[in-house]
Structure 1
Amino acid sequence: MLGFRRTNSDRGTIRLVVALLIMLLTAHVVLAHWCGHAEAVPPQLAMLMVQGMAVWAVYTRYRRSPSLIRLPWLLLASAVLMQMLWNGTNVLATVLGDKGGYLAALATVLSALYVIPCMFMSTRSFTLHEPRAVVVLDLVLLFLVAVLVYQFFTTLLSGPLAADPASIYVVVYLADAIDFSLAAMAIVRLLGARSFRWRIFYYTGGAYLLVNATVACIYNRIEMHGLPWWAGALINIPHALLVLVALRQPPRWLRSYRPSRGVSQTIASFAPILLSTMVVMLCISTARFNFVPSLVVGALAVLFYGLRVAFIQSRQLDQQRAIDQSTWRLEQQVGRDPLTGIANRATLDRHLREALEEGRRTGGFCSLLMIDIDYFKQYNDSLGHIAGDACLVKVADALGRNLVRRHDLVARYGGEEFAIVLIDTNAEVAEEVARRLIIAVEHLQIAHPGSPLGRLSISIGLATQTEQSLTDPVAMLAEADDALYRAKRNGRNRFEGAPGETDPSTISVDASGA
């Protein structure tokens, strides 16, 4: 019956429900006029039946909704049920008598407690991945609000302050502020809902809360001067509206409206702030009557919001670490560096091991170049990390373009360091390649404010496989790395070979002497 496509049977059921609703509304007005006052038992029983229909309509929505959206519908049904309890307590007060005014105070408390499920349904994100600690904090905070509301109304309405008109006005104004704030929160959530089913819920809840706030505002002021016989009919308006909105097809604009992802995320992130803000406002309003409880609940509202943010940020950091780890594993499987597009460290290790094993087997020894961009930290500090990333891409491209043979490998070793594996290459040829690469980077003419040269340059360390070399790539990487550090100590923008591998007269030849 409540799906988006209805059969003839569903339409017939809806017509029957609407007819019954009209009968109850008419009966309430007739009985109230016949009895002569709004608080008579017969019209209040008719009002209870209208409220019961509203609970039934919302509960039916709850049963037919997906699991993720069921809780909000249940909360809305609970809010209407609180209104039923208020009305039922008033009936008891009329039947049994209420000399001490306790039943009247209890009815007022029950009516006020409907804000608890309304707060929860308007401010919660209802996501599957929200930490349980956040849910617990919200529940504890709402429980404390319920206790504060109970203490406030019992203090104000069952004690000596009950006869003070100023105290009654405080209750009325506070009720107006809470009711209209709840309606505004539901409407804001409607504007931020990307799912059609969520828009249906917030449209239904927002319409009910807005009309209920308006009716309560009028009813409370009429009650202060004595209720006429027709006043109870006002309370039927939001509940009758809720039945109609919950059962009928949603308007077309609700289906076509779809906020942007940025608007939706902003509203969803802002909603929890509204909960803490409302609690603090409530505490400020009740502080003059219950100072210590109001102060404690207000402080806890601020503390709980801080803890809520901390828990959510912790969960987000955990998720980001999991994503980063998955990305790293994927990169290792793919074998490519995501920024520069050249081989990554895992591919370098595997390729170098294979080259060393091939050189030991055939005698065609390989060479390894370790390359570092000079003063790269200063480059990032002066020009920013975006410019630094662009620089790494340009250098990687220059290194790859100046390798003649396709079976040689250029890889990103990490950070601003690169490595090149030269298959079947002796030390002299490796030196020529190093000279060519230094000149190639120099020809890029990348301005570098932090370098003494005023432009980007690289330093290179060389290592060549010998008969005594191990087939473990770690040892050869360490030799090339040591040579690289000597090149940097000796002035940068140059290459250095491992000791004993090259002629001493050519060990410290820089680009200008090539």
Structure 2
Amino acid sequence: MRVVLLLVLLLISHLALANWSGHAEDAWPQLTMLAVQATALWAVFTRYRRSPALIRLPWLLLALAVLMQVLWGSTNLLTTVLGDKGGYLSALATVFSSMYLIPCMFMVSRSFVRDEPRVVAALDLAMACVIAILLYEFFTHMLSGPLAKDPSSIYVVVYDADAIDFSLAIMAILRLLGARSFRWRFFYYAASSYLLVNAIVATIYNRVEMQGLPWWAGSLIDIPHALLALVAIRQPPRWLRAYHPSLGVSQTIASFAPIILSMMVVVLGFSVTRFSFVVGLVTGCASVLFYGLRVAFIQARHMDMQRAGDLSALRLEQQVGRDPLTGIANRVTLDTRLREAMQEGQRTTHYCAVLMIDIDFFKQYNDSLGHIAGDACLVKVASVLSSQLRARDSVARYGGEEFVVVLMDANAEAAVEAAKRMTGAIERLNIPHPLSPYERITVSIGIATQAADTPMDPVFLLEESDRALYMAKKNGRDRVEVADKSAHDLTVGWNRFDIVK
């Protein structure tokens, strides 16, 4: 309540002093205007100190924007009191006016995401600084250079200033509409209120100034700062808590926000070409480059996060023990079951056999028909392999289009018979394969069998079956080969056509 009374007192004092002096730019009216701006700065900084860590930076940026306005007003006051023969104070006031845009641009265009790369924040800050520099160059050349004699230059400056002010306000309103957190909505509510009223006031003030400032004109500048102070110290309106944008709206607005920086640079660069074509062209190209780099860094970050997510999913999948696509055991489970089968074989002399199975020409199948068809094919093959096994046998997806079957209590002859049943069952699926010489999906199988002298290492049998699989592929695919030389006569020259014979 005391802050409200103070603001009312300052606003009335400003009007009274301006009316008494008869000039809007007299020292005492300017001093009361500075007091209003300082009150707004204090209110925003107080809100900054009371806010949680995640929301502090935006409030600090808003406080910096108000601070630039305070410094601008202070410089104008010094010009009134001390004079400005060399024009240095006027130039300094223009600098502060331009620097006001840097925190404003930053707070309406940043996503403020914790895991966003720091280089992206640096690029956004660089773009905001480029805008401030361009604006300073534009104002100084248009208002103090040779172009200042052209009356149209004043209108160009005014219209450009209007475009910038209202763009900031509209962007802040959009961020308000897209904020899913109540604290963020409250911040953008305060920022958009200030920026929108400031844009309206600046539009009126600049046009009044072109005709000569009346005594009351300075009081217009008090309005946005007094409003900001009131919004910052008072409780948020109820509708801010009730409003909840959809996730799609929020993500769309947050993704669009950074474009405002590049758009500002392009617009100002185009305006600067009026007196410096090279500078305008270079800054316009720089805006495109900076935005491209920004997108590239964010995309790289998202790819890193996706890889981390895939790794987590893989670890979870390994813990669960099932292949998510086919539903059969995965490689981790295979290692456990194969080791158990080998241990039982050594204990009971009922040795196991390993079948390494590969779908022929599967890469060509994927390339020609697409990954969806490829996934469907893997599921069907896995289902058929499972259906041909006994209850104590097991099948697992080894990787890609490779499967491994562990047969309990099976010698080479029994393993070959099981392999024949599997190839026949897969043939009966009759899955068309346009790029296979067999015109349908077929498999090649390599077999390795455990013996009394076989090392108690699952990797040994897997490597042996893999060598046999390599021989099956080398000999024309759609075949069964056995790594055990004692069983070689069972399989030499055997392929699916032997079933017909």
Instruction: Give me the TM-score of the superposition, normalised by structure 2.
Output: 0.92
Q: After TM superposition, give the deviation of residue 121 of structure 1 in Å.
A: 0.7
Of 459, 464, 489 in structure 2, the residue corresponding to residue 479 of structure 1 is 464
Of 255, 266, 282 in structure 2, the residue corresponding to residue 280 of structure 1 is 266
Letter in 2 for 1:155: H
Q: Deviations over 1:222-267 (max 9, x none)?
A: 1011011221222122112212222233233322222232332232
Q: Deviations over 1:58-86 (max 9, x none)?
A: 11111111111111111111111212222
Residue matched to 1:80? 66
Q: Secondary structure at the match of 1:172?
A: helix
Residue matched to 1:253? 239
CA distance in 1, matches of 2:485, 2:445: 17
Of 418, 436, 456 in structure 2, the residue corresponding to residue 433 of structure 1 is 418
* Change over 3 Å in CA distance of 1:509–1:86 after alignment to 2: closer
Letter in 2 for 1:58: V
Q: Secondary structure at the match of 1:502?
A: helix
CA distance in 1, matches of 2:489, 2:278: 85
Q: After TM superposition, give the deviation of residue 420 of structure 1 in Å.
A: 0.6
**What pairs up with 1:373-384 in 2 under 5 angstroms?**
373-384=359-370
Pick which of 298-307 and 204-213 moved more. 298-307
Pick which of 131-140 and 120-129 moved more. 131-140
Of 225, 233, 256 in structure 2, the residue corresponding to residue 239 of structure 1 is 225
CA distance in 2, matches of 1:48, 1:503: 98
Q: After TM superposition, give the deviation of residue 99 of structure 1 in Å.
A: 4.2
Letter in 2 for 1:227: L
Q: After TM superposition, give the deviation of residue 171 of structure 1 in Å.
A: 1.6
Pick which of 320-329 and 502-511 moved more. 502-511
Residue matched to 2:402? 417
Letter in 2 for 1:165: P
Of 426, 431, 443 in structure 2, the residue corresponding to residue 446 of structure 1 is 431
Residue matched to 1:12? none
Of 223, 229, 232 in structure 1, the residue corresponding to residue 215 of structure 2 is 229
CA distance in 1, matches of 2:89, 2:488: 104
Of 351, 354, 361 in structure 2, the residue corresponding to residue 365 of structure 1 is 351
Letter in 2 for 1:180: F
Q: After TM superposition, give the deviation of residue 275 of structure 1 in Å.
A: 0.8
Q: Decide whether the 8 Å contact of 1:208 with 1:242 is kept in 2.
A: yes
Q: Decide whether the 8 Å contact of 2:138 with 2:271 is kept in 1.
A: no
Q: Decide whether the 8 Å contact of 2:480 with 2:491 is kept in 1.
A: no
Q: After TM superposition, give the deviation of residue 332 of structure 1 in Å.
A: 3.0
**What pairs up with 1:55-454 in 2 under 5 angstroms?**
55-405=41-391, 407-454=392-439
Q: Secondary structure at the match of 2:250?
A: helix
Letter in 2 for 1:170: V
Q: Secondary structure at the match of 2:485?
A: coil
Q: After TM superposition, give the deviation of residue 306 of structure 1 in Å.
A: 2.4
Residue matched to 1:10? none
RMSD: 2.4
Pick which of 339-348 and 68-77 moved more. 339-348
Letter in 2 for 1:471: M
CA distance in 1, matches of 2:78, 2:344: 96
Q: After TM superposition, give the deviation of residue 477 of structure 1 in Å.
A: 1.8
CA distance in 1, matches of 2:123, 2:89: 32
CA distance in 2, matches of 1:448, 1:303: 47
Letter in 1 for 2:500: G
Q: Decide whether the 8 Å contact of 1:152 with 1:290 is kept in 2.
A: no
Q: After TM superposition, give the deviation of residue 129 of structure 1 in Å.
A: 1.4
CA distance in 2, matches of 1:253, 1:440: 66
Query: Does 2:500 align with 1:513?
Result: yes
Pick which of 99-108 and 133-142 moved more. 99-108
Q: Deviations over 1:153-194 (max 9, x none)?
A: 333434444443222222212111111111122122222221
Q: Secondary structure at the match of 1:244?
A: helix
Q: After TM superposition, give the deviation of residue 494 of structure 1 in Å.
A: 4.1
Of 435, 441, 454 in structure 2, the residue corresponding to residue 469 of structure 1 is 454
Q: Deviations over 1:24-67 (max 9, x none)?
A: 22222222222222112222222111111111121111111111
* Change over 3 Å in CA distance of 1:224–1:109 after alignment to 2: farther
CA distance in 2, matches of 1:503, 1:39: 105
Q: After TM superposition, give the deviation of residue 454 of structure 1 in Å.
A: 4.3
CA distance in 2, matches of 1:104, 1:428: 99
Q: Decide whether the 8 Å contact of 1:109 with 1:153 is kept in 2.
A: no
CA distance in 1, matches of 2:316, 2:398: 17
Q: After TM superposition, give the deviation of residue 311 of structure 1 in Å.
A: 2.3
Pick which of 327-336 and 502-511 moved more. 502-511
CA distance in 1, matches of 2:437, 2:451: 37
Q: Decide whether the 8 Å contact of 1:102 with 1:158 is kept in 2.
A: no
Q: Deviations over 1:2-39 (max 9, x none)?
A: xxxxxxxxxxxxx2222221222222222222222211
Q: Decide whether the 8 Å contact of 1:27 with 1:46 is kept in 2.
A: yes
Residue matched to 1:3? none
CA distance in 2, matches of 1:497, 1:91: 96
Q: After TM superposition, give the deviation of residue 417 of structure 1 in Å.
A: 0.7
Q: Decide whether the 8 Å contact of 1:219 with 1:231 is kept in 2.
A: yes
Letter in 2 for 1:440: A
Letter in 1 for 2:402: E
CA distance in 2, matches of 1:275, 1:237: 27
Q: Decide whether the 8 Å contact of 1:109 with 1:149 is kept in 2.
A: no
Instruction: Give me the TM-score of the superposition, normalised by structure 1.
Output: 0.90
Q: Decide whether the 8 Å contact of 1:38 with 1:229 is kept in 2.
A: yes
Q: Decide whether the 8 Å contact of 1:145 with 1:297 is kept in 2.
A: no
Residue matched to 1:9? none
Among all aligned residue pairs of Structure 1 and Structure 2, give the percentage whose two residues are the same amino acid.
66
CA distance in 1, matches of 2:362, 2:142: 71
Pick which of 49-58 and 482-491 moved more. 482-491
Letter in 2 for 1:104: S
Residue matched to 1:27? 13
Query: Does 2:36 align with 1:50?
Result: yes
Unaligned runs of 5+ in 1: 1-14
Q: After TM superposition, give the deviation of residue 293 of structure 1 in Å.
A: 4.0
Q: Decide whether the 8 Å contact of 2:165 with 2:199 is kept in 1.
A: yes
CA distance in 2, matches of 1:262, 1:391: 35
* Change over 3 Å in CA distance of 1:394–1:251 after alignment to 2: farther
Q: After TM superposition, give the deviation of residue 467 of structure 1 in Å.
A: 2.9
* Change over 3 Å in CA distance of 1:505–1:59 after alignment to 2: closer
Q: Decide whether the 8 Å contact of 2:412 with 2:484 is kept in 1.
A: no
* Change over 3 Å in CA distance of 1:311–1:503 after alignment to 2: closer
* Change over 3 Å in CA distance of 1:218–1:484 after alignment to 2: same
